[in-house]
Structure 1
Amino acid sequence: MMKPDFYRQPVAWTGRIDGTDEELLRWHQRVTPVNLLTGSLPSLKPHQQGVAFLGFASDEGVRRNKGRVGAAEGPAALRTASSNFPVHFDGELILADVGDVICKDDLLEEAQQTLSDTVLTIRKAGYLPVLLGGGHEITYGHAHGIYQHLRVRKRGEKLGLLNFDAHFDLRMKGEEGSTSGTGFWQLAQDCKLEGAPFYYLALGIQANSNTQQLFRIAGDLDAQYVDADAFHLQDKALLHAAIGQFLRDVDHVYLTIDLDVFSAAFAPGVSATAYNGIRPDGLFLECYRNILQSGKLAGIDIAELNPSLDVDNRTAKLGAALLFEMISNLHYH
């Protein structure tokens, strides 16, 4: 159920206008605001696809995780950085913006439940949820909503969780509850309660960003990971093999990109910068496009953009470029 106190209605996207002919259009001319409290997503025609942008304006999980706050402003910055993109996609694709889920009065768990319910609404309407973060506490609400949708369908489908990140985000919950670092641990506990398999692949893991305990927990959960060295040393075979096998093992994929996986030279506007993070280069794009083109995408989000720490909107532009790649290579169920 949508909680009005945790929802902010969308506003119209704006930007440069070169004309109204199809070849002159920009994203802001194709995005339709949809207030989910008063309306619903437009019905899709057979074989038509739709994307629903949803912000998660929260950094309460970052605060609880003792990080630098500011990511609550990430959704607005990602929209601004994306608005003027030229339209290079099928004219039949519907782009909708359904507003933001907000974290009110530090009530993160309630915000995550609202996020989960909103993702379920988007999936039931046949749209791909494209979420704009926000701290990485976005993961638990987003993926939980996809799991809910698969349970409603009752087809025994397997969901894989794929995370580009320097961190495992497998911390156990403490006294404060959920944080930006507990999402995948929480999902693993849910899977255990449901008797469901836990499929998790993390790409870009840094040894200097994860304790021995986190590596042990990853092992205990049979989580798979490829460390950042595979990207630095251009180990294409290892990367493609890991991603390919993971995609074969699951029916659907939840994909999250924590912008702190990238080198601080490209992504200074995050809570925890990585001087030796991966580069958004050709090797990364090969991996990213393989996932996008798999036809198994069930949801995607961009996390940890902190505009207050950004330099020349560099991180916002990187996050927006990832959205442009996603729309350009869109294949989902």
Structure 2
Amino acid sequence: MEKRRFSTVIMITKESYQPTDISAWTGRTDGTDPDLLRWHQVVQVINLLQQPLPALTPGQKGIVLLGFASDEGVRRNKGRVGAAEGPAALRKAIANFPVHFNAQTLLLDAGNIICVNGELENAQQVLSEAVKAILTAGYLPLLLGGGHEITYGHASGIRQFAGKRPVGFINFDAHFDIRVPGEEGASSGTGFWQLAQDAKQAGVPFHYLALGIQKNGNTRQLFNIAGEEEATYVSADAFHLQDKDTLLAAIQHFLSQVEKVYLTTCLDVFSAAFAPGVSATAYNGILPGGLFLQCYRKIMESGKVAGVDIAELNPSLDIDNRTAKLAASLIFETVMAYCGEEPF
């Protein structure tokens, strides 16, 4: 099996990796002046089997888009598969965005980590190493899911990079994803349980904040496990009832306890009217409007976010690309906030 070194840290194989074809980045072209550019005109496609990430100059910012083309965890969790096609749909949805970030910012597409023959644990390990290498090179990993099994690989990479610095995990989700693994092993619903066990083994606190939890989407056992692991959560009702004070206070308190943050958004946290293309739709999910954006921006503007991902986009279940467009808008928000650009 051929192996090549990515940067100076990670070993990936041709079997676990799929570079992006530049043809995936197409869209409208209004010109080449800086104020006319769109993402498909400035993104750089990188093949991790052939080249390291470009070195950043002092003060320069860089973002690496990396797909996790897997829905094996969704299958193991008895969900509707199809999220493995999410990264491709997301690239298509974001390609035509206008460039509002600094011209010196590097936007890279590093392809996909893929899950081969149902070997989820191996794919998560490769993803973890890739995330650590991206962070070591000074870039923000912005990951495109994929099922929510993306969490364990992504967050593990951040934790390895952070070393002894406390890491917090923030999850916009209707579900805790804190299940004890079943006979088939880890799944899209076990990521935060796995992270909690890793924290115990390392003798460090487990910092977990779940936002948008639905009581009708989690068994009493899951609430009990969340309590045992000292997770913090705010229910979807806080969004429905516009309880801004409770949400922002919970976020601020959580941020004060950690130095690095893993931020993940499971698209099933949103109302099915806005996010029909997910494994488990929520008719009474939260709205992707003002209050959600305030919460999301508060987290991003903390300066502590070390990695972001969007999970559970299933293009085969989408309607009029609603879910893909919603996910794309979150990617745009992330890039704008990371680059220090003010929203209009």
Range into which the TM-score falls when normalised by the shorter chain: over 0.9
Match of 1:53 in 2: 65
Counterpart selection for 2:250 from 242, 245, 250: 242
Structure 1: tracts of 5 or more residues without a match: none
Counterpart selection for 1:19 from 31, 54, 64: 31
State the distance in 2 between where 1:199 and 1:143 align: 12
State the distance in 2 between where 1:321 and 1:124 align: 27
* Residue 78 in structure 1 maps to residue 86 in structure 2: no
Counterpart selection for 1:182 from 190, 195, 199: 190
Deviations 1:56-97 (A, max 9, x none): 000000000000000000000001000000001111111000
**Matched ranges for 1:1-333 at <5 A:** 1-12=11-22, 13-151=25-163, 156-330=164-338
State the distance in 2 between where 1:312 and 1:209 align: 26
Q: CA deviation at 1:3?
A: 2.7
- Aligned partners of 1:258 and 1:304 also within 8 Å: yes
State the distance in 1 between where 2:15 and 2:129 align: 14
State the distance in 1 between where 2:204 and 2:138 align: 24
Partner AA of 1:9 in structure 2 = P
SS of match in other structure, 1:300: strand
Report the number of matched residues.
328
State the distance in 2 between where 1:309 and 1:104 align: 23
Q: CA deviation at 1:269?
A: 0.2
Q: CA deviation at 1:239?
A: 0.3
State the distance in 2 between where 1:287 and 1:331 align: 18
- Aligned partners of 1:294 and 1:331 also within 8 Å: no
- Aligned partners of 2:81 and 2:314 also within 8 Å: yes
Partner AA of 1:330 in structure 2 = Y
- Aligned partners of 1:54 and 1:101 also within 8 Å: yes
- Aligned partners of 1:161 and 1:200 also within 8 Å: yes
TM-score w.r.t. the length of structure 2 is 0.94
SS of match in other structure, 1:266: coil
Deviations 1:277-332 (A, max 9, x none): 00001010000111111100100000000000000000000000001111111169
- Aligned partners of 2:101 and 2:339 also within 8 Å: no
- Aligned partners of 1:9 and 1:35 also within 8 Å: yes
- Seq. identity, %: 66
- Aligned partners of 1:204 and 1:231 also within 8 Å: yes
Match of 2:6 in 1: none
State the distance in 2 between where 1:327 and 1:250 align: 22
SS of match in other structure, 1:245: helix
| CA root-mean-square deviation | 0.9
- Aligned partners of 1:292 and 1:331 also within 8 Å: no
State the distance in 2 between where 1:32 and 1:47 align: 19
SS of match in other structure, 2:285: coil
SS of match in other structure, 2:12: coil
Structure 2: tracts of 5 or more residues without a match: 1-10
